[in-house]
Structure 1
Amino acid sequence: MYHPLSGKDAQYGSTPTVHPAKVPFTESTAYWLGLYFVFNLGLTLFNKFVLVSFPFPYTLTGLHALSGCAGCYIALERGAFTPARLAQRENLILGAFSVLYTINIAVSNISLQLVTVPFHQVVRASTPLFTIFISSIFLRTRFSIMKLVSLLPVVAGVGFATYGDYYFTAWGLILTLLGTFLAALKTVVTNLIQTGAGGRLKLHPLDLLMRMSPLAFIQCVIYGWYTGELERVRAYGATQMTSTKAVALLVNGVIACGLNIVSFTANKKAGALTMTVSANCKQVLTIALAVVLFNLHITPTNGIGILLTLIGGGWYGYVEYQEKNKKSKVLDRM
């Protein structure tokens, strides 16, 4: 007979081996990071195509927010999650976060119009550095030397991967740098809100997205009206909109909704820095595909950069796995 309180078998006096429950693959960090990789890559390239024929970044951002809202309400009706009950202070925090959420998307879409895809990706490659800076200064987070060193080939590799294909305006450079900082800040804050590390907030990814999307949509409408973009969209719709373009916008919105859901879920499971490193590995594949899709030239230096980034991403993943495994063993001994 086995006594659960003592952990011993009454007959033999030995402690049985207890195996931890196996996590289903669809619940694993690797699964959600993989989905994030695919959706992020697809939306970046699709946005570039869409903005060529539909040059209205605030409207496109609003479409993304509206799509996310629709997707979350469908999930709510199907019982995928239960909304949390929040106090007024927590609602104010989410309201402030929604502004960051909206501006981050809008700045990224605007900067894509002013720079080439490779230049956009190489600047965004510095996101892990911004993430480390924000986490260290404001959250007092410490990172191991090995983890910091593994970031070097990731960041440098994207630089090599885009060497020779830079085109940007001064305004494009400023917006791309701003977008990179905002992306890092949003990633850190998203993780805090979902894990509860920043206070009482600990929201389900779909719950967070459902609350963010309507606020983001309203803000996009206000920005679009203030800049005169809505009037230009109305004129565009009356003279140049076709069924093909409408379908492309619909598909773009569906992909954006999927990316938001996947991004929030992966962030909760993997953490802020891992998310930014995963995004960097996506950058080099974006560059490789952009060479084909946008007729850009690639050199041996670019190839070395792509290889460097992939090696760095793999190294970081190994270091992350080793550190988590070590922490798990320490907890098991306690």
Structure 2
Amino acid sequence: MNSLPAAVLMVWLTNNIGVTLLNKAAFATVDFKYPFMLTSVHMSCNSMGTQCYQAWKRREQLKLPSTASEEQEALVAGWTGKKKQFTPEQKKAILAYSVIFSLNIAIGNLSLRHVSVNFNQVMRSLVPAITLGVGILQGKAFSMYRRYSVGVVVLGVLFACYGDMTYSAVGFMVTVFCVLLAAAKVTVSGEMLTGKLKMHPIDLLGRMAPLALLQCSLISLLSGEVSSIASRWTTDLSPFVNPQPFIIVLMSGFASFTLNISSLYANKLTSPLTLCIAANVKQVIMIATSTILFETPINFLNGLGILIVLTGSFWYSYMSLMEKHQDKK
């Protein structure tokens, strides 16, 4: 692996960990208990960031000399702002997906408000199991190896969630909803990117972020978050009174956009297996870091469950990649 893919992978890994820890810090450290407003900030940063990214891409392409090599052209290749035209039915599908997109992020943030990072990450490991279950109901075939690996993950989740791991009944239900939304997002986004629409990831993000911003801002207003923030503005939320909440929330929003961009480049410049390994490394680092930072209690059974989840997740990802590689031959 040369220096560029390694650097991009490191940025992706750092952002992946940073977004979750910054979101948890907003809820647990500075008492910014507003998941829908936090998601609105994320979507604002993604909307503005997407526009800046497109402008930068167009500028890079204009600067590219006519004698540029294929490698140089590849480095600046990407979506530069020419949007596809869709039928009314397809526009309705995009709007419906935007609801899943925004709720997935917002409910994920709401989950982090009520449960520990460890519990959130362990439960998110069930996404492949749900996706596989939906696929079986749709008549898709899956190898026994993938089914066994999902069984290992489910067993690990049961161990990890038993006993002292920090979560409440409300937090458990919210996190289950979060996992269901994450599975739905994986399924639908795959259709958006590779199905009939075949949207470019930047085009998809550029369309989703403004819609999600509008939806989450409305929910934030109706749920009373906006009025609560207004009542606390002059005491502890104004950056002129206490800059810490403002800085953490803004950093979280910026990191959410750079995560999306670095994810695109990581997919382009590295192999799926590399990303698979990096994702498991991320889970290990995130669980270890959050345990130290937020003092999350873990007993022996919880620790064993987390280890089983990580092993099962890696096994599932590895077998999925190997099967896709065999199908291409």
Instruction: State TM-score, norm by structure 1.
Output: 0.77
Percent identity between the aligned chains?
Answer: 35
Aligned runs of 1:1-334 on 2, under 5 Å? 37-52=13-28, 53=30, 54-79=32-57, 80-82=78-80, 83-87=82-86, 88-138=88-138, 140-196=139-195, 199=196, 201-241=197-237, 242-262=242-262, 282-329=282-329
Q: Are residues 295 and 24 of structure 1, via their aligned partners in 2, closer, same or farther at CA, if it must alter by over 3 Å?
A: closer
Task: Show structure 1 runs of 5+ residues with no match.
Answer: 1-22, 330-334
Q: Are residues 189 and 163 of structure 1, via their aligned partners in 2, closer, same or farther at CA, if it must alter by over 3 Å?
A: same
- Give the CA deviation at 1:176: 1.1
C-alpha distance in 2, partners of 1:132/1:278?
22
C-alpha distance in 2, partners of 1:107/1:280?
23
Question: What do residues 213-256 of structure 1 show as CA deviations (whole Å, max 9, x unaligned)?
Answer: 01111111111111111111122222212223222222111111
- Give the CA deviation at 1:179: 0.9
- Give the CA deviation at 1:94: 1.2
- Give the CA deviation at 1:282: 4.4
Query: 2:122·2:309 contact (CA, 8 Å) conserved in 1?
Result: no
- Give the CA deviation at 1:121: 2.8
Q: Are residues 261 and 154 of structure 1, via their aligned partners in 2, closer, same or farther at CA, if it must alter by over 3 Å?
A: farther
Task: Show structure 2 runs of 5+ residues with no match.
Answer: 58-77
C-alpha distance in 2, partners of 1:148/1:259?
30
C-alpha distance in 2, partners of 1:44/1:73?
24
Question: What do residues 162-214 of structure 1 show as CA deviations (whole Å, max 9, x unaligned)?
Answer: 54333433322221111110010001111110112xx2x11111111010001
Aligned partner letter, 1:177: V
C-alpha distance in 2, partners of 1:155/1:279?
18
Query: 1:114·1:169 contact (CA, 8 Å) conserved in 2?
Result: yes
Query: 2:157·2:306 contact (CA, 8 Å) conserved in 1?
Result: yes
Greater Cα shift, 306-315 or 292-301: 306-315
Query: 1:162·1:287 contact (CA, 8 Å) conserved in 2?
Result: no
SS of match in other structure, 2:296: coil
- The structure with higher relative contact order (CA 8 Å, sep 6+) is 2
Q: Are residues 34 and 304 of structure 1, via their aligned partners in 2, closer, same or farther at CA, if it must alter by over 3 Å?
A: farther
C-alpha distance in 1, partners of 2:13/2:309?
14
Aligned partner letter, 1:70: M
Q: Are residues 116 and 322 of structure 1, via their aligned partners in 2, closer, same or farther at CA, if it must alter by over 3 Å?
A: closer
- Give the CA deviation at 1:277: 10
- Give the CA deviation at 1:295: 1.4
SS of match in other structure, 1:141: coil
Q: Are residues 238 and 219 of structure 1, via their aligned partners in 2, closer, same or farther at CA, if it must alter by over 3 Å?
A: same
Q: How many residues align?
A: 299
Q: Are residues 31 and 147 of structure 1, via their aligned partners in 2, closer, same or farther at CA, if it must alter by over 3 Å?
A: farther
Greater Cα shift, 228-237 or 151-160: 151-160
Q: Are residues 289 and 160 of structure 1, via their aligned partners in 2, closer, same or farther at CA, if it must alter by over 3 Å?
A: farther
Query: 1:36·1:262 contact (CA, 8 Å) conserved in 2?
Result: yes
C-alpha distance in 1, partners of 2:127/2:10?
19
- Pair member with larger Rg: 1
Aligned partner letter, 1:260: N
Question: What do residues 60-119 of structure 1 show as CA deviations (whole Å, max 9, x unaligned)?
Answer: 000011111111101110124133322233222111111111111111211222223333
SS of match in other structure, 1:235: helix
Aligned partner letter, 2:39: T
Aligned to 1:14: none
Aligned to 2:61: none
Aligned partner letter, 2:327: K
Query: 2:26·2:248 contact (CA, 8 Å) conserved in 1?
Result: yes
Greater Cα shift, 246-255 or 128-137: 128-137
Greater Cα shift, 62-71 or 152-161: 152-161
